[in-house]
Each structure stands twice: as C-alpha cells, then as structure tokens.
Amino acid sequence: MFISQLRMLVKIRKKKERQLHKEDNFQPSIMLILKIFKFKSYIGRRIFLHNKIRKFRI
C-alpha cells in the first residue's frame, strides 16, 4: 500500500515537472491568455478538468 502511494507521488511529480518544461517552452503571453481563459469562467474550468481526467485514462 505505502509503496504504491509513493509510486503515485513520484509519477505525479514527474508529470508536473514535464508540464512545467512545456510551459517554459511556450511564449509567456500565450500561456497568460490560456490561463486567464481557462480559470476565469467556471464552465471553462470544468471542461479543462474533464479533459485532464480524460488524458489520465488514456
């Protein structure tokens, strides 16, 4: 049980680090626009979360 939890944490951390690298390669202005668009509207946030969950399943 404990080992599997550790594995999950490491996986999540690696995924986040990869995401950060991708964001660094993007132009900052584009990232800002995307972030504002995604997190301003509640519906947009729900869709964004739904897509994230879908990516995890694949």
pLDDT tens-place string over residues 17-53: 777 666 555 566 666 666 666 655 555 556 666 666 6
C-beta of residue 28 within 8 angstroms of C-beta of residue 36: no
Q: What is the pLDDT of residue 8?
A: 84
Per the structure, the complete domain to which residue 36 belongs is given by 2-57
Q: What is the pLDDT of residue 7?
A: 83
- Give the DSSP letter string of 1-32: -HHHHHHHHHHHHHHHHHHHHHHHHS-HHHHH
Instruction: Please count the structural domains in the chain.
Output: 1
DSSP for residue 58: -
As a whole number of angstroms, the distance between CA 24 and CA 19 comes to 9
Residue 10 half-sphere exposure, CB side, CA atoms within 13 Å?
Answer: 6
Instruction: Choose between 18 and 55: higher pLDDT.
Output: 18
Task: Provide the whole-model pTM.
Answer: 0.33
Q: What is the pLDDT of residue 12?
A: 82
Q: What is the pLDDT of residue 17?
A: 74
- Reading the block at residue 5, the tokens are 């939890």
